[in-house]
Amino acid sequence: MKKVSLWMTVLLVSVFMVSGTTLAGPTMDRIEKNGVIKVGFREGSIPFAFIDAKVGKHVGFSVDMANLLAENLGKRFGKKITIKPFTVTPKTRIPMVVNGTIDAELGSTTYTQKREKVADFSHIFFFSETTFLVAKDANIKTLADLSGKRVGAARATTNLKAVENLAKAGKFKPSAIVVTETHPQGMLSLKSGKIDAYSTDRSLLEGLKMKSPNPENWETVDFAIAYEPYAYIVRSNESDFRDFVNDTILWSIKTGKFFEIYEKWMGPEGLVPLKMSPAYKEYLQMMVYPINDGWWKK
Amino acid sequence: MNLAYEFDWSVLWRDPYGLMLIKGLGMTIFLGSCAWIIAMVVGILVGTLRITKYRTLRFAGTFYVEFFRNIPLLVQMFFWFYAAPMLFGETLSRQINRLDYLAIYVSILGLGLYTASRIAEHLRAGFASIGQDQYQAVLSTGLSQLQMYRYVIIPYALRLAIPPITAEFLTVFKNTSIVMTIGVAELTFQSYQIDADTFHGLEATTGAMLIYLALGMTIVKFMDVIEKKYKIQGLVGR
């Protein structure tokens, strides 16, 4: 009996390994075959992708976009496509897409040339600014005010890079640059006074602020130190899948779905009120090419 | 799907990454050594508490060991770093949080106290393997309880416990990798930084692995010498 189960295990493992290698085919075929799309979401990237403690699931702007994507994929293949969510961190999101653990990451990833070399990216769907969250009574108005202060940012983010570069260039002299693993950890460090300013994208900082017990004590500063165009991560050399993601974005803009989702998360009633700038609105309108219902068909 | 990956091993020595790895190794050795000192002192103390004839002391020792060895080290680190300062009230906790090297202090303390619980446990095993007649023999020479432990039993048990303690000494250096999560720039932290910078995580991690391996082998060799030197004559040994 024992021997049999051992052989079964060996057999099962080898089947998994074999199917694992054959599974590494084009993403679209795999999604059709399995009826599942594996999507990476962040756990604390408010309001783009985060875990809502009340429902214990990933929610947010990008999660809604993922639902839209799955819906469209369902229309394409004529069957229900379900999302299998994975939690990713800034550190793991690109490797997990590249090695095939997930098919795409829909979150709040900044599109950079360096990252483009490793993975592919969708259209840019949002712009944020790298800035700082500080205590309201700290009286920080300019970058120079942050000299001599302790500044934090999360590992492997463009924000950390921006802070480091500015410090290196002598634009300001922080007394220390503290590296945290996640945004909630950064917020915790800020609240407990370990750091004086925490840096990431303005939308995320607003999100952290709104989720803290006393949002009125914190503010994001008025200046920005870098601009962050957001895009979704997909694997390189799979243009059919990337096109599908892109068309989902464009189609949602055309049908107004995009703005509904934006309104839900970042409208005046949303979790993180963030007004669309006129330039951003224009960008969205201008990037849409003529696209008709039924585009999802093969 | 194209998974071709171009290796670039120069991230291990190229400026500034080579220096980052060396600094990381330095921090790892520093943290491990400091934590080890705390671990030995506290571990010997707690281990001895567990075999004294006083019930409350025995209980305190057992409580310490069970508390520290049953909570994951990572959770302990987060507790000491984020939660513990808050126990001191608003003003004092603020001052603690403003300490320049708080993360490093916390790492050393956390790692030291955790390893101490494990050393205490090995030492207890060492004590247990010393026959009751030996205790009686010591006392019959007129030494006090304290002197008995100080001059006979502890040195005896420590020698018996050298092999498992070698393993702990090795582990304390490996466990330092956990403190990267509270922002201490040790070896693993630096290899992750290099990865974030260059996307050559495979090389950076391999480099870190080899450095850990070399460090571990050195420690094993060092402990071998100690073990030979303090071998108890007459016991079966190598």
pLDDT at A215 over 50: yes
- How many whole angstroms from its chain centre is CA A32? 25
Q: Which element (helix H / strand E) includes B123?
A: helix B102-128
Task: Tell me how close the Cα of A152 comes to any Cα of chain B, in angstroms.
Answer: 10
Would you say residue A118 lies in a domain? yes
Judge if A34 and A114 occupy the same domain: yes
Q: Please name the residues between 219 and 248 in chain A that touch chain B, using a CB distance below 8 Å.
A: 235-238
Judge if A83 and A175 occupy the same domain: no
Residue B90: predicted pLDDT: 82
Residue pair B74/B178 in contact by the 8 Å Cβ criterion: yes
Substitution target from B2, B179, B199 for chain A, most A beta carbons within 10 A: B199
Q: Do A192 and B82 touch (CB under 8 A)?
A: yes
Q: How many CB pairs under 8 A join A and B?
A: 52
Judge if A117 and A134 occupy the same domain: no
CA closest to A152 among chain B residues: B183
Would you say residue A63 lies in a domain? yes
Burial class from Cβ neighbours inside 10 Å (0-12, 13-18, 19+) for residue B29 reads: middle
Least confident of A8-12, A247-251, B122-126: A8-12
Q: Do B2 and A179 touch (CB under 8 A)?
A: no
Would you say residue A292 lies in a domain? no
Residue B234: predicted pLDDT: 65
Tell me how long chain A is. 298
Task: Tell me how close the Cα of B98 comes to any Cα of chain A, in angstroms.
Answer: 6
Q: Do B2 and A237 touch (CB under 8 A)?
A: yes
Q: How far apart are CA A28 and CA B205, in angstroms?
A: 32
This complex has an ipTM of 0.72
Would you say residue A112 lies in a domain? yes
Would you say residue A1 lies in a domain? no
Structural domain count of chain A = 2
Residue A86: predicted pLDDT: 95
Q: Containing domain of residue A63, as a range?
A: 27-127+229-287
Degrees (nearest 5) of the Cα angle B117, B119, B125? 110
Query: Domain ranges in chain B?
Result: 15-229
pLDDT at A22 over 50: no
Burial class from Cβ neighbours inside 10 Å (0-12, 13-18, 19+) for residue B162 reads: buried
**Low-confidence residues in chain B, pLDDT < 50:** 1-2, 237-238
Judge if A39 and A72 occupy the same domain: yes
Q: Do B199 and A176 touch (CB under 8 A)?
A: no
DSSP state, residue B231: P
> For residue B174, how many other CB atoms are within 10 A of its CB?
15
Substitution target from B77, B86, B97 for chain A, most A beta carbons within 10 A: B97
CA closest to A235 among chain B residues: B1
Would you say residue A50 lies in a domain? yes
Write the residue in B2, B97, B189 that is nearest to A236 by C-beta. B2
Token couple for B71: 């909570």
Query: Is B2 an interface residue toward A (CB < 8 Å)?
Result: yes
Judge if A32 and A167 occupy the same domain: no
Judge if A155 and A267 occupy the same domain: no
Query: Is B94 an interface residue toward A (CB < 8 Å)?
Result: yes
CA closest to A103 among chain B residues: B1
DSSP state, residue B45: H
Tell me if residue B199 falls in helix, strand or coil: coil
3-state secondary structure chain A: CHHHHHHHHHHHHHHHHHHHHHHCCCHHHHHHHHCEEEEEEECEECCCEEEECCCCEEECHHHHHHHHHHHHHHHHHCCCCEEEEEEECCCCHHHHHHCCCCCEEEEEEECCHHHHCCCEEEEEEEEEEEEEEEEHHHCCCCHHHHCCCEEEEECCCHHHHHHHHHHHCCCCCCCEEEEECCHHHHHHHHHCCCCCEEEEEHHHHHHHHHHCCCHHHEEECCCCCEEEEEEEEECCCCHHHHHHHHHHHHHHHHCCHHHHHHHHHHCCCCCCCCCCCHHHHHHHHHHCCCCCCCCCCC
DSSP state, residue B51: T
For β-strands A57-59 and A197-201, DSSP reports them as unpaired
Query: Is A156 an interface residue toward B (CB < 8 Å)?
Result: yes
Q: Do A235 and B1 touch (CB under 8 A)?
A: yes
CA closest to B201 among chain A residues: A95
Judge if A60 and A194 occupy the same domain: no
Judge if A120 and A235 occupy the same domain: yes
Q: Which of B8, B14, B30 is nearest to B187 (CA)?
A: B30
Question: Tens digit of pLDDT for each residue in A116-141?
Answer: 989 999 999 999 889 999 999 988 98
Q: How confident is the model at residue A5 (pLDDT cuts 50, 70, 90)?
A: low
Residue pair B27/B101 in contact by the 8 Å Cβ criterion: no
Q: How confident is the model at residue A180 (pLDDT cuts 50, 70, 90)?
A: very high
Residue B4: predicted pLDDT: 58
Q: Which of A86, A98, A53 is nearest to B199 (CA)?
A: A98
Residue appearing with tokens 């983010």: A157
Task: Tell me how close the Cα of A160 comes to any Cα of chain B, in angstroms.
Answer: 10
Token couple for B195: 């990865």
Tell me the average pLDDT of chain B. 89
Residue B235: predicted pLDDT: 66
Looking at A205, A227, A249, the residue that finishes a domain is A227
pLDDT at A21 over 90: no
Q: Which of A40, A68, A95 is nearest to A254 (CA)?
A: A68
Assess whether the previous peptide bond of A47 is cis (omega < 30° from 0): yes
Judge if A87 and A151 occupy the same domain: no
Judge if A104 and A249 occupy the same domain: yes
Judge if A123 and A31 occupy the same domain: yes
Q: Do A235 and B97 touch (CB under 8 A)?
A: no
Write the residue in A155, A193, A238 that is nearest to B94 by C-beta. A193
Contacts 24+ apart (CB under 8 A), B85-89: B85/A192, B86/A192
Which residues on chain A are in Cβ contact (under 8 Å) with B86? 192
Q: Do A192 and B85 touch (CB under 8 A)?
A: yes
Would you say residue A13 lies in a domain? no
Task: Tell me how close the Cα of B60 comes to any Cα of chain A, in angstroms.
Answer: 32
Looking at A200, A227, A254, the residue that finishes a domain is A227
Assess whether the previous peptide bond of B16 is cis (omega < 30° from 0): yes
Q: How far apart are CA A7 and CA A295, in angstroms?
A: 48
Residue A205's domain is classified under what CATH number?
3.40.190.10
pLDDT at A83 over 70: yes
Q: How confident is the model at residue A91 (pLDDT cuts 50, 70, 90)?
A: confident
- How many whole angstroms from its chain centre is CA B79? 18
Q: Do A192 and B2 touch (CB under 8 A)?
A: no
In CATH, the number for domain B15-229 is 1.10.3720.10
> For residue B78, how many other CB atoms are within 10 A of its CB?
18
Q: Do B98 and A193 touch (CB under 8 A)?
A: yes
Q: How far apart are CA A204 and CA A53, in angstroms?
A: 17
Q: How far apart are CA B29 and CA B169, in angstroms?
A: 11
Q: Tell me which amino acid residue B114 is.
A: Y
Judge if A146 and A274 occupy the same domain: no
